[in-house]
Structure 1
């Protein structure tokens, strides 16, 4: 079935919209290698996914701290300071133009994360583009992690649209896969990942960058 132009576009936050450079800088400041960030971030997701899959739950910040504790010898206070740096994140250079294009086309824009509430808002405010986003949604409010189906259905409900009327744009294949399984239009583009995993349900759209993802969504036929 051909996807239709969405009424609402939800964008993932960490890496997709916001650059994790301050987190990397915090690790380097305390003697860690900059490339450790990718491993810490992956271990954070593993921790959260495992908790959710087994019927428990933890906050993103707690999973991040657990990952740092497993992979480094940093003290609890240093780990806490690095975690605080999530509030210092800023959008990637291509984000403002992409959000403006959606808004100017009459598409509602929200953010959707399982990260800590306030992170998306702080980054958007810092860049002066918060008015382009209708609302920021964190699934911590329902004690769930993406890519659980309930997160995407909850987000659609919060936006008062059917899942088919919402798109999820992310630079993480697992996130797009979850959205597709929930009935959303899943759109993937690369940042750190080089390709969309073939083991997942196909994304409705795959683009070379965020701007291309927005262009592809706006080129879809209207409902």
Structure 2
């Protein structure tokens, strides 16, 4: 396995800390755990639309799901007021903070000689807002949206879009994510894979093991160096 020259980073949950959005959900009358329930529901619907050949829009799906959750939590809330609150919650998601290991981890990847791109099922602007003003900003070569390739990850077209933009073949690229499904999609296109396993979870048996597993983003650069030294 050759040393990668490019790293593609998943954004939502991998780079952004969903726990930082929990206070806004609680203030809106939802529960802290509803942040992850909402996020996984958006992924579910986006995956379904992708499989059916339709274009999925993360912001539209997110707004709709939040409106539904808010009205279920408060049956007296009408659609219009729920939409207003949902819009505020979407802004809080856009303003999520990065995990503490992300900025130094990205800097270390760039320091290890890799060109770094974000590759998200959401808007590229969300990733740009998350990282652009941090010390990791100068290390990002470009911010990419999977939808510009015609499909959400883990559809093959999403990774091929990243490879085309970066101008590299799949074996030269590394996909980095906390989501095993994302890594499995990348692996099947021929990319190398790195799993950020912050929680100490077991990797799903349904998928082939990733090439690299680290507990923190800051461990990834040294892991690559040791693997290819």
User: Do both share a fold (TM > 0.5)?
Assistant: yes
Tell me, which stretches of 5 or more residues in structure 1 are unaligned? none
Q: Which residue of 1 aligns with 2:202?
A: 195
Segment drifting more, 8-17 vs 96-105: 96-105
- 1:191–1:106: structure 2 CA closer, same or farther, 3 Å change rule? same
* Matched-pair contact (CA < 8 Å) for 1:166–1:184: yes
**Max Rg structure:** 2
RMSD over aligned Cα atoms: 1.8
Separation of aligned partners in 2, 1:214 and 1:198: 26
Structure 1 segment 73-222 matched on structure 2, within 5 A:
73=71, 75-191=82-198, 194-221=201-228
TM-score, length-scaled by structure 2: 0.89
What is the aligned length? 220
Match of 1:44 among 39, 42, 45: 42
Question: Alignment partner of 2:175: what SS?
Answer: strand
Question: Alignment partner of 1:90: what SS?
Answer: coil
Per-residue deviation, residues 25-48 of structure 1 (Å, max 9, x unmatched): 221111111011111111010000
Question: Alignment partner of 2:35: what SS?
Answer: helix
Separation of aligned partners in 2, 1:71 and 1:217: 42
Deviation at 1:193, TM superposition (A): 7.5
Per-residue deviation, residues 154-187 of structure 1 (Å, max 9, x unmatched): 1011000001100001011111111111100011
* Matched-pair contact (CA < 8 Å) for 2:196–2:216: yes
Higher helix share: 2
Question: Alignment partner of 1:118: what SS?
Answer: helix
- 1:138–1:193: structure 2 CA closer, same or farther, 3 Å change rule? farther
Question: Alignment partner of 1:137: what SS?
Answer: strand
TM-score, length-scaled by structure 1: 0.91
Segment drifting more, 68-77 vs 38-47: 68-77
Separation of aligned partners in 2, 1:70 and 1:182: 36
Separation of aligned partners in 2, 1:150 and 1:141: 9
Deviation at 1:22, TM superposition (A): 4.3
Separation of aligned partners in 2, 1:112 and 1:196: 22
**After TM superposition, where is structure 1 displaced by more than 6 Å over at least 4 residues in a row?**
none
Separation of aligned partners in 1, 2:106 and 2:118: 11
Match of 1:15 among 13, 16, 23: 13
Q: Which residue of 1 aligns with 2:60?
A: 62
Deviation at 1:7, TM superposition (A): 0.4
Question: Alignment partner of 1:57: what SS?
Answer: coil
